Amino acid sequence: MKNIFRKLSIIFLTAVLVFTGCGQAAGGSAPAQESAPKEDTFVPRADDGRTVVGISMPDRLLERWNRDGYFLKEQFERSGFEVMLEYANNLIDTQISNLRDMINGGADLLVVTAVDGAAISGILEEAHRNGVRIIAYDRLIMNTDCVDYYVSFDNYQVGVLQAEYIIKALRLKSSRNVRNIEFVTGDPVDNNARYFYQGAFDTLKPYIDSGRLCVPSGQKGFYETATAQWSTDIAQQRVQIILNSYYPEGTRLDALLCANDSTALGAARAVISDYPGLNKVVITGQDADIANIYNILNGEQSMTVYKHLKRESVVTVSLGKDILEGNTPGENLIERAGWAFDCSYNTTDYNNGNKVVPSFLLHPIAITAENIEKELFETGYYGRNASGLIYAAK
């Protein structure tokens, strides 16, 4: 089967040169920044009798990447592909060497969550020259024509959900009280972090501008509020410094806008250790990591944003299969796949500096103490064992 698809795809590429490889976005999407599209030099790898998918994940420190890796590997294997799965320990050099091993190991498709979105264009160009297709998984890969597709959640909406929760919890629409907030945003080399920040900041901005919401530290910009490597410890230290410098006894902290659950854990620890106030500080998050689910249930964290990882992998596997079968998927993939969940095809919003990358986007949902049982447990996404310990369903 692979042979036929390969041949079809070569004929197709030679005849019309329209696939998404270097130079031009697919599916009638917005044009790349260059005025004249570059010639598409993509030629799929010669058939070696195997179809190999290389999956490059950033680290094992976060629950989610362990789950993503598991789901992707399992589904690609079930679809008959050989899989190479590697974790990069959050190190750029390790990720580049993992990708090189995958190219040398015969990968036909790379599914990559970049440690640093702007640091792997060189190795991806090498992959492309070797006839390897590339899907950016969850995080966009920047500054290269060689990324074919992007699969993720609506990252801007994640920040909007966090900010909307804060607006409601602090009654910013109705109350006249001035509230204090601090921002704990994500890793500046992860392209998603800026979307999360922007979604949240744009939503809170009217209240900041009107003086209803204050930022006593004055740290409001993306870079000054960023958390290297999404580290819990770095987030904790930064919030501790802010509390000790700007919240002398008596100054009330109302909310910590934390971009994800690893930063929220650090922020919650800092509040416990260094905040003398008696009010409950609203803390946001993202991912529904198990430690954070406990914190929501015990009141230490106020909300998280749940992203259904299995769906993200389902979309990626369908897309990967389609590409390897020589198709040029677009909106039509959503119709053909008939998934029982919403997914949008976006050809306007994810510009990686070289081109607008055609994107398949899923929809995140806000989880609070009020809806956590219904949304996470009754759905079966999480369960409790006989001792009441929470586990994530496979």
Nearer to ligand BGC among residue 253 and residue 264 (C-beta): 264
User: Is residue 355 a contact residue for ligand BGC (CB under 6 A)?
Assistant: no
Among residues 138, 164, 182, 312, which is the contact residue for ligand BGC, using CB under 6 A? 138
Which string of DSSP letters, residue by residue, matches 14-39? HHH--SSSTT--STT-PPPSSSSPPP
Longest dimension (CA), the chain: 72
Give the C-alpha separation, 98 to 116, whole Å.
14
**Residue found under tokens 């960023």:** 226
Letters for 162-191 (x = contact with ligand BGC by CB under 6 A, - = none) are: ----------------------------x-
Shortest CB 160 distance to ligand BGC, Å: 15
Q: Is 390 within 8 Å of 314 (Cβ atoms)? A: no
Instruction: Specify the amino acid at residue 4.
Output: I
User: Is residue 62 a contact residue for ligand BGC (CB under 6 A)?
Assistant: yes
| Bridge partners for 179 per DSSP | 213
User: Is residue 40 a contact residue for ligand BGC (CB under 6 A)?
Assistant: no
Q: Is the dihedral of CA 276, 279, 280, 284 positive or negative?
A: negative
Among residues 254, 287, 300, 312, which is the contact residue for ligand BGC, using CB under 6 A? 287
Torsion of CA 120, 124, 126, 129, to 10 degrees: -160
Shortest CB 61 distance to ligand BGC, Å: 8
Number of residues counted as binding ligand BGC (CB under 6 A) = 10
Q: Is the dihedral of CA 274, 277, 278, 280 positive or negative?
A: negative
Among 182, 156, 198, which residue's Cα sits nearest to residue 348? 156
372, containing H or E segment? helix 372-372
Shortest CB 58 distance to ligand BGC, Å: 7
Give the C-alpha separation, 191 to 50, whole Å.
33
Nearer to ligand BGC among residue 108 and residue 190 (C-beta): 190
User: Is residue 157 a contact residue for ligand BGC (CB under 6 A)?
Assistant: no
223 is written with which tokens?
A: 């870079």
Give the C-alpha separation, 348 to 136, whole Å.
16
User: Is residue 352 a contact residue for ligand BGC (CB under 6 A)?
Assistant: no
Angle 281-282-283 from CA coordinates, rounded to 5°: 110
Nearer to ligand BGC among residue 42 and residue 230 (C-beta): 230
Burial of 210 per CB tally in 10 Å (0-12, 13-18, 19+)? exposed
Nearer to ligand BGC among residue 51 and residue 192 (C-beta): 192
Shortest CB 138 distance to ligand BGC, Å: 5
Among residues 56, 236, 286, 352, which is the contact residue for ligand BGC, using CB under 6 A? 286
User: Is residue 154 a contact residue for ligand BGC (CB under 6 A)?
Assistant: no
Q: Is 266 within 8 Å of 235 (Cβ atoms)? A: yes
Shortest CB 192 distance to ligand BGC, Å: 4
| Bridge partners for 304 per DSSP | 367
Query: How many residues appear in the chain?
Result: 394
User: Is residue 292 a contact residue for ligand BGC (CB under 6 A)?
Assistant: no
Nearer to ligand BGC among residue 213 and residue 264 (C-beta): 264
Shortest CB 241 distance to ligand BGC, Å: 22
Among residues 2, 21, 22, 64, which is the contact residue for ligand BGC, using CB under 6 A? 64
Letters for 220-259 (x = contact with ligand BGC by CB under 6 A, - = none) are: ----------x-----------------------------
Nearer to ligand BGC among residue 103 and residue 296 (C-beta): 296
Residues that bind ligand BGC (CB under 6 A): 62, 64, 138-139, 190, 192, 230, 260, 286-287
